[in-house]
Amino acid sequence: MHSLKTDPESEPQMPDKNESLREIRINPIVPSESVLVATARNMRPRKQEDPAPRDTRKHVEQCPFCKGNEDETPPTINAWPDDENWEIRIVENLYPILGEDQQSDGLTFGLQQAIEGYGRHEVVIDHGEHGIALQDMTPVHIQQMFITYQERMQILYDSDKRIHYVLAFKNFGPAAGASIAHTHSQIIAMPVIPENVYNEVQNSREYYNKHHRCVFCSLIDEALTYEATIYDRDSGQVQRKINVGQYVIERSEHFIAIKPFASRYEWEIHIMPLDHQADFLEASTDHLADFAGLLKRTMQRLDTVIGGAQYNYFIHAIPHGEDYEDSHSSYHWHLEICPRTSIPNGFELGSGLFVNTVSPEVAAEKLRAVKLDEASGTA
């Protein structure tokens, strides 16, 4: 990817063969999605650009999401702790991607097939403070954000049987495509299952049928295996020693944050429950308290290492509906965090192959090495 960040290591240098890694890594969940990990310095983009700076102000008079400007958005759907002293507020999106518009006629003709753009699009104003970053929010607040997603997702699933998937996601910072600086997330109820969720569900079901195990649970077990030795079957000689625990960034009582072996984004991190659970809506409030602490610490690490994280995150969970009832044992919900430090280029768009210029092992090591301030981790 074309790098957005200035990085002192990126001055032109001859590639060091020992340091360079050039391999196509297969996504263990969806094998058709692979990533080119290419860390050779000469693979690095020539021109470095700084990402657009983030707005860190606490209150902005003209911001439609700031306190006091509630009449600049559609009416409050729900607020926490209450409408007047809200710290989290949900509203309809003023410019919805999907809506309750009238049915359009003639959606299909020959090769031109379409599905009605029915759906719902809501904005969760995450916090009363305009430019606050997630790692600076309290764990109780972060927990409440995820409880809020759960409540709305449940209501949206129940609202209409044309809804096949409800996606909760967050764009943070201009580099992540956020058009409004005030911290916010979005919930979109869709008439289709997103292709990447569908592929994950199908592939993990195939894995389950073959191995009688959830592939995500297997990944967690591998990540928690701190050292493994692979022996040659015939000679009994040690073939390779691997330290797979190197992918663990954070661990709590009920959750784990992992740097995926086939990370598409340089600083991508996935968080998943340690115990098998297919549906995010089934995560208990206690577990979400634990999750919030882990997410906060993970974001602190990220922000420290990359110097101001701008990112997207989204929740992938089992879709609702009869067709997915038999996938509860094989699918495992998770949060994918995709920090945006570079812009996909023509090669990536043309090939569908993401290029990652930081070795996931090195990235994980750097993220783990951050010394967290204990006090701020639990504030």
**C-alpha dihedral sign at 369, 356, 265, 30:** negative
123 binds, among ligand AMP, Zn ion, none (CB under 5 to 8 A by kind): ligand AMP
The residue within the footprint of ligand AMP, chosen from 94, 140, 230, 369 (CB under 6 A), is 94
Residue closer to ligand AMP (CB basis): 173 or 293: 173
The alpha carbon torsion through 317, 322, 324, 329 (nearest 10 deg) reads 100
Nearest distance, CB of residue 152 and ligand AMP, angstroms:
15
Residue among 287 and 301 whose Cβ is closer to Zn ion? 287
Instruction: Point out which span in 132-140, 173-181, 244-252, 271-279 binds ligand AMP (CB under 6 A).
Output: 173-181
Q: Hey, which residues does 355 pair with through a beta bridge?
A: 36
d(CA 166, CA 317): 9
Looking at the Cβ atoms of 166 and 181, the one nearer to Zn ion is 181
Which residue in 29, 37, 38, 63 binds Zn ion (CB under 5 A)? 63
Residues 292-311 that bind ligand AMP (CB under 6 A): none
Q: Binding segment for Zn ion among 110-118, 151-159, 248-256, 327-335 (CB under 5 A)?
A: 327-335
**Closer residue to ligand AMP, CB minimum distance, 121 or 251:** 121
Subset of residues 107 to 146 that bind ligand AMP, contact rule: CB under 6 A: 123
Smallest CA-to-CA distance from 299 within 309, 313, 287 is with 309
Identify which of residues 44 and 205 has a Cβ nearer to Zn ion in the complex. 205
Q: What's the length of the chain?
A: 379
- Residue 150 to residue 166: CA distance in whole angstroms: 10
Residues 30 and 200 sit within 8 Å (Cβ to Cβ): yes
Q: Which does 228 bind (CB under 5 to 8 A by kind): Zn ion, ligand AMP, none?
A: none
Binding status of residue 189 toward ligand AMP by CB under 6 A: no
What gap in Å lies between CA 278 and CA 214, rounded to an integer? 10
Angle at which helices 285-306 and 139-159 cross, to 10°: 120
Contacting residues for 162 by C-beta, under 8 A, at least 6 apart: 118, 191
The residues in 28-47 that bind Zn ion, with binding defined as CB under 5 A, are none
Give residue 355's Cα distance to chain centre: 18
Does 95 contact ligand AMP by CB under 6 A? Answer: yes
Nearer to ligand AMP by Cβ, of 59 and 251: the residue is: 59
Nearest to 333 by CA among 287, 286, 377, 280: 280
| Interaction between residue 93 and ligand AMP (CB under 6 A) | yes
Binding mask 319-348 for ligand AMP (x = CB under 6 A): ------------------------------
Asked whether 139 and 378 are in contact (CB, 8 A), the reply is yes
Among 91, 272, 288, 295, contact with ligand AMP (rule: CB under 6 A):
91
* Contact between residue 143 and residue 151 where contact means Cβ atoms under 8 Å apart: no
Cβ pair 287, 254 in contact under 8 A: yes
Which amino acid appears at position 279 of this protein? D
Q: Cβ-count burial of 185 within 10 angstroms (0-12 exposed, 13-18 middle, 19+ buried)? A: buried
CA distances from 233 to 238, 239, 241, 322 (A): 9, 9, 15, 45
Query: Which of 178, 249, 256, 358 is in the footprint of ligand AMP by CB under 6 A?
Result: 178
202 binds, among Zn ion, ligand AMP, none (CB under 5 to 8 A by kind): none
Structure tokens, 285: 């409030």
Per CB under 6 A, 73 contacts ligand AMP: yes
d(CA 341, CA 264): 12
93 binds, among Zn ion, ligand AMP, none (CB under 5 to 8 A by kind): ligand AMP
Residues 217-246 that bind ligand AMP (CB under 6 A): none
CB of 71 to Zn ion, least distance (A): 14
Residue 134 binds: one of ligand AMP, Zn ion, none (C-beta under 5 to 8 A by kind): none
Q: Angle, to 10 degrees, between the axis of helix 215-223 and the axis of helix 195-211?
A: 80
The residues binding Zn ion (CB under 5 A) are 60, 63, 65-66, 130, 182, 214, 216-217, 276, 332
The residues binding ligand AMP (CB under 6 A) are 64, 72-74, 91, 93-95, 123, 171, 178-180, 184
